[in-house]
Chain A
Amino acid sequence: MTDISTDILVVGGGAAGLSAASEAASCGARVLVVESDLQLGGQLVKQTHKFFGSKDEYAGTRGYKIAGILLDEIEECGRGVEVLTNATVTGYYAEDKTFTVMRGEDSYSRIKARRAIIATGASERLIPFPNNDLPGVYGAGAVQTLMNVYGVTPGRRVLMVGAGNIGLIVSYQLMQAGVEVAAVVEAMPRIGGYWVHAAKIRRLGVPILLKHSIKEALGGRVVEGAVITELDDKFNPTGQERSVDCDVICLAVGLSPTTEILSHAGCKMRYVPELCGSVAERDRTMRTSNPDFWSAGDAMGIEEASAAMVEGRIAGLCAANSLGLPAKMEKLDEYWARLDHLRAGEVGEKIRSGIVKVSRGGWEACCNE
């Protein structure tokens, strides 16, 4: 067991965590990023499509290239940012403000940090249906990892479940990899993702079946097909069923914020459906009710990576400021203006209504301690 100490511990090296680390280090903080994966970058490294947003959020740049830009920024911080990959934070002990971290399979360390920024992202949801344990049933994240990180196609013909942005984008990526997409089924009467993402796969001939869902996977040892069913307005099966020829069933039915450490640290949590799960109450600086803890990105509510990067910058800036470091706090207004823009449209309405429920003004006073 080794002991490590740092000013600011950033848990999670994805879009939010890397932005937070870079921002905090640029204020002069010593930052340690702990990432459970073998490499930094989080979900960004799997995103081969061009991002939306404005120039400030690298609009028009492919996600994996944005990961490269953020990694360059981290590199420029020199010794300001230390990184542990293949390392998982397993707990927080409030009595000595110590985190435990498992490195690889069998080595443990203790990390003492004056501040923590939790940027743990999200985990995929799955839905129950008969045979959903057959090989060939994947989460969309796994399909992306296979294809876009390791260069392996998951199969020959895919049934995509869910027409949110992930379902639509992964369908497109599957086609780019030469995999056929049999159909996208979506329980709601409209696609949940951006309309243009749907149009992109529609014009390549992929059916998007609204008010449809998967009833069961078919097959003995592996997926050999699926039965899909039409749903009525109350999401009950209408009895209209058909079978789909496929060897992969890809589930893109939503994400849940990963918040165990925040709960462990006693941060006030609240279940907010609009943010897709139980999330921490936060003030304008992304600080939680535990004054040593900030959080950003999907851990604070499921949203686009563009917003996660801005939230990360806010958390990094404000956590550094709380240590008495020379943080340019006037940037806070600029960052909030960017977030407000990103959330202004009809797609941002859900996020806005969710964030109102967990935003608290009360902790701002302790921001300049």
Chain B
Amino acid sequence: MSESESLFNSGILTDERPGAIRPPCDKWKAKKSGLVIVECPQRIPCNPCATSCPTGAILPFEDINDTPVIDYEKCTGCAICVAVCPGLACFVVDLSFGKDKALYKLPYEMLPLPSKGDSVTCLGRSGEALAKGTVEAVIEPKRDKTYVIHVSAPKEFANDIRAIKVGG
């Protein structure tokens, strides 16, 4: 078993796969409010991302086990899927946010809850600290205790920052 295969088998995305595709670069850079990145590379019986998407950007599933496919023309970066996905596998990254900084819209279900203006540590897929970020907004779209935290952090980590650590 190769190292990347064994990493993947333990829950770390190592490359693009069906259900875990990056947005096309040109569209992504230009898109106000950002585009969704779904990291759901396994066929499991689950479809709330598609059924909750208000614009149909996450295409309807033919089979509930389908992995998500995205129509980036339709995605508005609203981050409803970020709040709804039971696997916390949806993220939105807005590259139009600033010159050097992107806005990361990340799912968050831990304590303590950060507040706007807080400095947090931005984490990669194996929990490694990548950068410091600033909390720009704390939203609870579905009022169900899954928060979507908007964090501004360096753009260079657009393909890596997927979680935050508050405090410590």
Contacts and interface: CB of A to CB of B under 8 A. Distances in A.
Interface of A: 49-55, 59-60, 62, 163, 175-176, 178, 186, 189-191, 194-206, 208-210, 306, 341-348
19 contacts: A49-B86, A51-B86, A53-B45, A53-B47, A176-B109, A176-B111, A191-B11, A196-B42, A198-B11, A199-B11, A199-B125, A202-B10, A202-B11, A205-B126, A210-B10, A344-B64, A346-B42, A347-B42, A348-B45
B46 A199 contact: no
Contacts of B162: 203
B10 A191 contact: yes
A194 B42 contact: yes
A199 B89 contact: yes
Interface residues of B, number: 43
B43 A347 contact: yes
A279 to B, nearest CB: 21
Nearest to A208: B10
Give 3 closest A-B pairs by Cβ, nearest first.
A205-B127, A198-B11, A196-B87
A190 B9 contact: yes
B96 interface: no
A231 B151 CA distance: 41
B168 to A, nearest CB: 11
Interface string B66-107: 000000000000000000111111000000000000000000
A196 B45 contact: no
Contacts of A342: 45, 64
B48 A60 contact: yes
B94 to A, nearest CB: 20
A11 to B, nearest CB: 27
Contacts of B43: 345-347
B45 A204 contact: no
A212 to B, nearest CB: 10
A344 B87 contact: no
Contacts of B63: 341, 344
Contacts of A194: 42, 44, 87
B6 A210 contact: yes
Given A59-B48, A210-B9, 19 more contacts: A50-B86, A50-B146, A53-B47, A54-B48, A54-B64, A55-B51, A60-B52, A176-B111, A190-B10, A196-B40, A200-B11, A204-B127, A208-B10, A208-B11, A209-B10, A306-B45, A345-B43, A346-B43, A347-B45
